[in-house]
A and B are shown apart, each in its own frame.
Chain A
Amino acid sequence: DQQVKQNSPSLSVQEGRISILNCDYTNSMFDYFLWYKKYPAEGPTFLISISSIKDKNEDGRFTVFLNKSAKHLSLHIVPSQPGDSAVYFCAASAGGAQKLVFGQGTRLTINP
């Protein structure tokens, strides 16, 4: 099941710079997208979401961009901070369904 793909297993960014995490999807029925952050030994924590009727949603240092034609979304974190080091999961749902389909995750490391 590769409906949601995060092709970069890891990303390393210098503190203060921009982190860009990418996610692609194949199911055109997906209409709601979320980013979750996960620290070791903890459950995923909701970060930000976007509906398919929008192409951008911003919350503080976090911005999610959605390109429906390319079936691509990205999460921008600026400026990156050491506490942002975690695994980031992209997730999607279709038609109000309760089921979330997750990507494989990208491990983000912020270097001082």
Chain B
Amino acid sequence: EPEVTQTPSHQVTQMGQEVILRCVPISNHLYFYWYRQILGQKVEFLVSFYNNEISEKSEIFDDQFSVERPDGSNFTLKIRSTKLEDSAMYFCATGDRVSAGELFFGEGSRLTVL
């Protein structure tokens, strides 16, 4: 069964450092998403990405965040200067249609900011 893969599975970083989380989407999927879940809280939408541009983003997704698909395969989430409150599990998800149908989620990247 096709799957979304994410790396790293866990990253520990110091506050203020840059972090890049990577995702390899399912090969024929064209719609890409990042969600996050802070411990004990809901899964929250961050951003959606299609045709090499952001199609929708939440208020969480401020100037410290960016996404890109530089080589046509990896889909990355960059946090420029991490804060303590960025500590969360970050999930990449991909889909094959424009509407929010079934999304396929990766296993997540746990980010711990110290």
**Contacts A100-B45, A102-B42 given: A46-B107 contact, CB under 8 Å?**
no
Q: How far is the CA of A89 from the CA of B91 in the complex (A)?
A: 14
Tell me, in angstroms, the Cα distance from A105 to B43 when the chains sit together.
9
A102 — which chain B residues lie within 8 A by C-beta? 35, 42-44
Determine which of A44, A97, A103, A104 lies in contact with B105 in the assembled complex, contact meaning CB atoms within 8 Å. Answer: A44
Contact B42 A103 (CB under 8 A): yes
- Considering only residues 51-103 of chain B, those with a C-beta below 8 Å from chain A are 55-56, 58, 91, 93, 95, 98-103
Question: What count of chain B residues pass the 8 Å CB interface test?
Answer: 28
Chain B residue with Cβ nearest A100? B100
A91 vs B105: C-alpha distance when bound (angstroms): 14
Q: Which of A32, A46, A100, A103 has the most CB of B within 10 A?
A: A100
The 8 Å CB contact of B100, one of A1, A42, A99, A104, is A99
User: Chain B contacts of A93 at CB under 8 A?
Assistant: 99-100
A contact residues around B108 at 8 Å (CB): 41-43
Determine whether A112 belongs to the interface, using a CB cutoff of 8 Å to chain B.
no
A residues near B93, Cβ cutoff 8 Å: 43
- Counting chain A residues whose Cβ lies within 8 A of the other chain, the interface size class is 20 to 34
Q: Which residues of B contact A100 (CB under 8 A)?
A: 35, 45, 100, 103
Choose one: B42, B45, B106; the contact of A104 (CB below 8 Å): B42
A34 in the interface, Cβ–Cβ < 8 Å? Answer: yes
- Residue of B at shortest CB range from A48? B102
Minimum Cβ distance to chain A for residue B77 (Å): 14
In the complex, chain B residues whose CB is within 8 Å of the CB of A45: 105
Mask, A32-56, CB within 8 Å of B = 1, is 1010100001111110010000000
| CA distance in complex: A97, B58 (Å) | 12
Q: Chain B residues with Cβ under 8 A from A60's Cβ?
A: none
Which residues of B pack against A, CB within 8 Å? 4, 31, 33, 35, 41-45, 48, 50, 55-56, 58, 91, 93, 95, 98-108
Q: Please report A residues at the B interface, Cβ cutoff 8 Å.
A: 1, 32, 34, 36, 41-46, 49, 89, 91, 93, 96-105
